[in-house]
Amino acid sequence: MILMAYLSYILAEVFGLSGILTVFFCGIVMSHYAWHNVTMNSQVTTKHAFATMSFIAEIFIFMYVGMDSLDMGKWRFVNDSAVLLGLIMIGRACFVFPISIISNLTRKATNDKIEFKQQVTVWWSGLMRGAVSVALAYKKVTEALNN
Protein backbone atom coordinates (compact mmCIF):
# COMPACT_ATOMS: atom_id res chain seq x y z
CA MET A 1 0.00 0.00 0.00
CA ILE A 2 2.87 2.35 0.75
CA LEU A 3 4.48 1.64 -2.60
CA MET A 4 1.21 2.24 -4.43
CA ALA A 5 0.80 5.68 -2.83
CA TYR A 6 4.43 6.52 -3.58
CA LEU A 7 4.10 5.29 -7.17
CA SER A 8 1.06 7.52 -7.72
CA TYR A 9 3.01 10.49 -6.36
CA ILE A 10 6.02 9.77 -8.63
CA LEU A 11 3.79 9.40 -11.69
CA ALA A 12 2.11 12.71 -10.90
CA GLU A 13 5.49 14.43 -10.62
CA VAL A 14 6.66 12.90 -13.93
CA PHE A 15 3.59 14.19 -15.75
CA GLY A 16 3.62 17.57 -14.00
CA LEU A 17 0.40 16.99 -12.06
CA SER A 18 -0.39 17.71 -8.41
CA GLY A 19 1.25 15.09 -6.24
CA ILE A 20 -0.89 15.94 -3.23
CA LEU A 21 -4.17 15.47 -5.09
CA THR A 22 -2.90 12.28 -6.67
CA VAL A 23 -2.03 10.77 -3.29
CA PHE A 24 -5.39 11.94 -1.93
CA PHE A 25 -7.35 10.21 -4.68
CA CYS A 26 -5.08 7.16 -4.51
CA GLY A 27 -5.99 6.90 -0.81
CA ILE A 28 -9.69 7.12 -1.60
CA VAL A 29 -9.47 4.40 -4.25
CA MET A 30 -7.27 2.18 -2.10
CA SER A 31 -9.57 2.51 0.93
CA HIS A 32 -12.49 1.48 -1.22
CA TYR A 33 -10.89 -1.43 -3.06
CA ALA A 34 -7.53 -2.52 -1.61
CA TRP A 35 -8.42 -2.27 2.08
CA HIS A 36 -11.04 -5.02 1.91
CA ASN A 37 -8.75 -7.39 0.00
CA VAL A 38 -6.08 -7.78 2.69
CA THR A 39 -6.14 -9.89 5.83
CA MET A 40 -7.19 -8.52 9.21
CA ASN A 41 -3.57 -8.61 10.46
CA SER A 42 -2.46 -6.61 7.43
CA GLN A 43 -5.21 -4.08 8.02
CA VAL A 44 -4.13 -3.55 11.63
CA THR A 45 -0.47 -3.32 10.69
CA THR A 46 -1.15 -0.93 7.83
CA LYS A 47 -3.39 1.26 9.97
CA HIS A 48 -0.75 1.59 12.70
CA ALA A 49 2.08 2.11 10.20
CA PHE A 50 0.28 4.94 8.41
CA ALA A 51 -0.80 6.51 11.71
CA THR A 52 2.79 6.48 12.94
CA MET A 53 4.20 7.91 9.70
CA SER A 54 1.50 10.58 9.67
CA PHE A 55 2.23 11.56 13.27
CA ILE A 56 5.99 11.80 12.67
CA ALA A 57 5.53 13.86 9.50
CA GLU A 58 3.06 16.19 11.22
CA ILE A 59 5.43 16.75 14.15
CA PHE A 60 8.31 17.49 11.78
CA ILE A 61 6.31 19.97 9.70
CA PHE A 62 4.93 21.89 12.66
CA MET A 63 8.28 21.98 14.46
CA TYR A 64 9.94 23.29 11.30
CA VAL A 65 7.29 25.93 10.69
CA GLY A 66 7.26 26.95 14.35
CA MET A 67 11.03 27.31 14.49
CA ASP A 68 11.09 29.10 11.15
CA SER A 69 8.36 31.56 12.12
CA LEU A 70 10.25 32.54 15.27
CA ASP A 71 13.41 33.32 13.28
CA MET A 72 13.60 37.07 13.86
CA GLY A 73 16.04 37.42 10.97
CA LYS A 74 13.14 36.85 8.59
CA TRP A 75 11.04 39.46 10.37
CA ARG A 76 13.81 42.11 10.50
CA PHE A 77 12.21 44.25 7.80
CA VAL A 78 8.95 44.50 9.76
CA ASN A 79 8.98 47.55 12.00
CA ASP A 80 6.99 45.90 14.75
CA SER A 81 6.70 42.14 14.29
CA ALA A 82 4.97 41.84 17.68
CA VAL A 83 2.02 43.78 16.22
CA LEU A 84 1.81 41.35 13.30
CA LEU A 85 1.90 38.30 15.55
CA GLY A 86 -0.64 39.97 17.86
CA LEU A 87 -2.98 40.50 14.92
CA ILE A 88 -2.68 36.82 14.06
CA MET A 89 -3.62 35.94 17.64
CA ILE A 90 -6.61 38.28 17.59
CA GLY A 91 -7.76 36.97 14.21
CA ARG A 92 -7.60 33.39 15.46
CA ALA A 93 -9.57 34.34 18.59
CA CYS A 94 -12.24 36.03 16.45
CA PHE A 95 -12.97 32.68 14.83
CA VAL A 96 -12.44 30.12 17.60
CA PHE A 97 -14.48 31.64 20.40
CA PRO A 98 -17.63 32.62 18.44
CA ILE A 99 -17.74 29.27 16.64
CA SER A 100 -17.35 27.48 19.96
CA ILE A 101 -20.22 29.51 21.42
CA ILE A 102 -22.42 28.68 18.42
CA SER A 103 -21.47 25.03 18.81
CA ASN A 104 -22.38 25.14 22.50
CA LEU A 105 -25.76 26.68 21.72
CA THR A 106 -26.63 23.82 19.37
CA ARG A 107 -25.72 21.08 21.86
CA LYS A 108 -28.31 19.97 24.39
CA ALA A 109 -26.17 17.83 26.69
CA THR A 110 -23.95 19.81 29.05
CA ASN A 111 -21.14 17.24 28.89
CA ASP A 112 -20.87 17.76 25.10
CA LYS A 113 -20.31 21.51 25.39
CA ILE A 114 -16.88 23.02 24.80
CA GLU A 115 -15.59 24.53 28.04
CA PHE A 116 -13.70 27.81 28.09
CA LYS A 117 -10.43 26.03 28.96
CA GLN A 118 -10.88 23.83 25.90
CA GLN A 119 -11.62 26.87 23.74
CA VAL A 120 -8.39 28.50 24.90
CA THR A 121 -6.53 25.28 24.12
CA VAL A 122 -7.99 25.20 20.60
CA TRP A 123 -7.08 28.88 20.13
CA TRP A 124 -3.51 28.42 21.35
CA SER A 125 -2.86 25.14 19.53
CA GLY A 126 -4.15 26.72 16.33
CA LEU A 127 -1.66 29.52 16.81
CA MET A 128 1.21 27.12 17.33
CA ARG A 129 0.14 24.95 14.45
CA GLY A 130 -1.14 27.79 12.30
CA ALA A 131 1.41 27.42 9.53
CA VAL A 132 -0.96 28.89 6.99
CA SER A 133 -1.68 32.03 9.00
CA VAL A 134 2.02 32.69 9.62
CA ALA A 135 2.88 32.05 5.98
CA LEU A 136 0.10 34.34 4.73
CA ALA A 137 1.09 37.11 7.13
CA TYR A 138 4.73 36.75 6.10
CA LYS A 139 3.77 36.85 2.40
CA LYS A 140 1.52 39.87 2.87
CA VAL A 141 4.24 41.85 4.65
CA THR A 142 6.90 40.98 2.07
CA GLU A 143 4.57 41.95 -0.81
CA ALA A 144 3.79 45.27 0.88
CA LEU A 145 7.47 46.03 1.35
CA ASN A 146 8.39 45.05 -2.21
CA ASN A 147 5.72 47.29 -3.77
Residues 75 and 23 both lie in one domain? no
Model confidence pLDDT, tens digit, residues 54-86: 889 878 877 776 666 666 666 666 666 667 777
What secondary structure does DSSP assign to 68-128, as a single string? HHT-TTTTTTSTTHHHHHHHHHHHHHHHHHHHHHHHHHH--SGGGSPPHHHHHHHHHHHHH
Residues 75 and 141 both lie in one domain? yes
pLDDT at residue 3 above 80? yes
pLDDT at 131: 59
Query: What is the signed CA dihedral for 122, 128, 131, 135, rounded to 10 degrees?
Result: 120
pLDDT at residue 91 above 60? yes
Residues 89 and 32 both lie in one domain? no
Residues 100 and 126 both lie in one domain? yes
The number of folded domains in the chain is: 2
